[in-house]
Amino acid sequence: MQIRHLGRAAYLPTYEAMQAFTAGRDADTPDELWLCEHPPVFTQGLAGQTGHLLEPGNIPVIQTNRGGQVTFHGPGQVMAYPLVNLQRAGYYVKEYVYKLEESVIRTLAHFGVTGHRVAGAPGIYVRLDDPFIHAALTGPANPSDPFKGLGKISALGIKVSRHCTYHGVAMNVAMDLEPFERINPCGYAGLKTVDLSTMGVDTTWDEAAQVLAKQLDARL
């Protein structure tokens, strides 16, 4: 896998470049992993509902063809875009998503943080009371609030075209989290969003991106 560091990159040209790369690749094109951070932007998935955009204000909203609902991208967030030929790799989409989530979980573990999955809600979550312990949340399950006690640290949305992936995964490192309050993150009202910085993890964007890239490269 060829790893490309794009630095600070505007969202729309990056999105268009992923589409062009995918449309132009053939059976022998090497897979790539693009790493970047974006200026502030809200992006809507194919299932996106305008009602989940509460007060976007002066932050642009871009419609995309990825799965999922609305999310926010901004400085201090690692964006990882794997451009993978699933047919050649022998992965089903469900397995691919698992590998993305597992890469984030392993990256968080590098910094001492325990990541959790929530059934039916792609992405990775952490315990708000103590993100460093391994214990699962206790108490009866609450179907009306599957995120009780959890905050979202990583969002995931992909597109598969001709067996090849684009879009990818976002991991929050040290962001201005206020824009997440202007939306229902990933379509869930009241879902709290966190980053490594607010949990007391002292790291840089570059270090977090390097660790995540290593984990993705090992699994993909």
Q: Which residues are catalytic?
A: 186
Beta strands 41-44 and 61-63 are parallel
CA distance 201 to 198: 7
35 alpha-carbon distance from chain centroid? 12
What DSSP character marks residue 166?
E
Closest C-alpha among 20, 5, 52 to residue 166:
20
Q: Is 172:126 a contact under the CB 8 Å cutoff? A: no
Amino acid at 26: D
Reading the block at residue 127, the tokens are 């315990």
Amino acid at 183: I
Reading the block at residue 33, the tokens are 């992993």
Beta strands 150-161 and 71-73 are unpaired
